[in-house]
Structure 1
Amino acid sequence: MHPPHAIEQLSVTQKITMMVNRYEVRASGPDGGPGQLLALAQQKRAAFKEEVRFFSDESRREVLFSFKARQRLDLGATYDVLDHQGAPLGSFRKNFGASLLRSTWHLEAQGIQAVGSERSQGVAIARRVWEIVPFLDAIPAPFLFHFDFRDASGQLVLSSERRPSLRDRYDVSIPGARLDWRVAAAMAVALDALQSR
């Protein structure tokens, strides 16, 4: 496994399965495409207390890190990112007031406090309209949404950009590797898995 400070680009891809949401987290290769496998994430659907574990490989014997809700079924839940021994790496939570028009998240990690929101206000509004129109809500939305996380000085800490593909795929940038890649991967998976909550 790469040391946490060594990674500036990740690729996160959802794998389609019937009972769970699964994601592959890879370091980006030299050509910008998916490279070395770093972790496999698995999320049980409809869990009372949300937890997503990231494993070293398909055997799912070794947990590398995870994120877990502090509360049960709480729309304002804070999620803790934990290492393989349960020590905290960071946390994030959705700001539901700000998210009414543009999804907004708060992210904290060692030495970093950042706020992330959808890059495009227009796409954010179009997605909401799509979700409330009765016959459209059964069709996957065609919008590509991107999130940018910035610290109090306005410096970019993390970005997650959805790519056009049959499966959800995200290019994740960690400028200057200021953020632990495990926290970045957890946030990127959460943006896909928890976005509609």
Structure 2
Amino acid sequence: MGLEQSQHRFHIRQKLTPMANRYVVHAAGPDGAEGDIVAFAHQKRMALKERITFYTDESQRQVLFTFQARQIVDLGATYDIHAASGTLVGRLRKDFAASLLRSTWHMSQEGAAAETTGVERNRAVALLRRAWNIVPFVDLVPFAWPYHFDFAASERPVMSVEKRLGLRDRYVLSIHDEHLDRRLAIAQAVALDALQSR
């Protein structure tokens, strides 16, 4: 089973390798546990112009969609998500000013009228994460405490992303809007990990 628009819940796990970040995306099974792999993401580290390629599985033989920054390293960069055919699916943008206190993202689906805004739910955890990030050699010890993002358009819930407790980066993506393109939702969920320090 591949990625389907009818799927509403996904599990995302980061896999660290020396030269790249990789993310495995599973659809949630009927019992809520990890089901089939529906996407596999590959992000090269230290790239000047951020690009993440999503494949249908870990073999990396078939591209599902791509995610690329419009500019070279930019704190307020816009990221375009394209289908394997090259068609624009949507775009993501981190709100740099708002994110100084609480991470905030804007997500736009191609053809949709309203922009979706995602905000870190807990202010105290947001401040704790910022304090953690200024500690020397912090990358050696991941931030283990859970945190949540809620995305809404015109006060209507669209999706949420929850980081699970633990040293390994594991997330649960829950989609509340049946019209939200699953590729855009997965790209945004991965961006919350891969681009959080940008």
Question: TM over 0.5, yes or no?
Answer: yes
Give 1:2 shift: 3.8
8 Å contact from structure 1 (residues 48, 72) kept in 2:
yes
The alignment partner of 2:76 has SS state of: coil
Alpha-carbon distance change, 82 to 134 in structure 1, aligned in 2, over 3 angstroms: same
The alignment partner of 2:115 has SS state of: strand
TM (normalized to structure 2)?
0.93
Give 1:148 shift: 0.6
Give 1:138 shift: 4.6
**Which residue of structure 1 lines up, in the alignment, with residue 7 of structure 2?**
7
TM (normalized to structure 1)?
0.93
**Which residue of structure 2 lines up, in the alignment, with residue 79 of structure 1?**
79
How do residues 169-184 of structure 1 correspond to structure 2 at under 5 angstroms?
Answer: 169-184=170-185
Greater mean deviation of Cα atoms: 53-62 or 186-195:
53-62
- Alignment deviations for residues 66-105 of structure 1 (CA, whole Å, 9 cap, x no partner): 1110111111110011100111001011000000100100
How do residues 24-63 of structure 1 correspond to structure 2 at under 5 angstroms?
Answer: 24-63=24-63
Residue segments in structure 2 that go unaligned for 5+ positions in a row: none
1:104, 1:166 → 2: CA distance?
23
Matched, 1:19 2:33: no
Residue segments in structure 1 that go unaligned for 5+ positions in a row: none
How do residues 1-197 of structure 1 correspond to structure 2 at under 5 angstroms?
Answer: 1-3=2-4, 5-109=5-109, 110-111=111-112, 112-134=114-136, 138-152=140-154, 154-197=155-198
2:95, 2:191 → 1: CA distance?
14
Spell out structure 1 runs of 4+ moving beyond 6 A: none
Identity fraction in percent? 51
Q: CA RMSD in A?
A: 1.5
Alpha-carbon distance change, 58 to 78 in structure 1, aligned in 2, over 3 angstroms: same
The alignment covers a number of residue pairs equal to 195
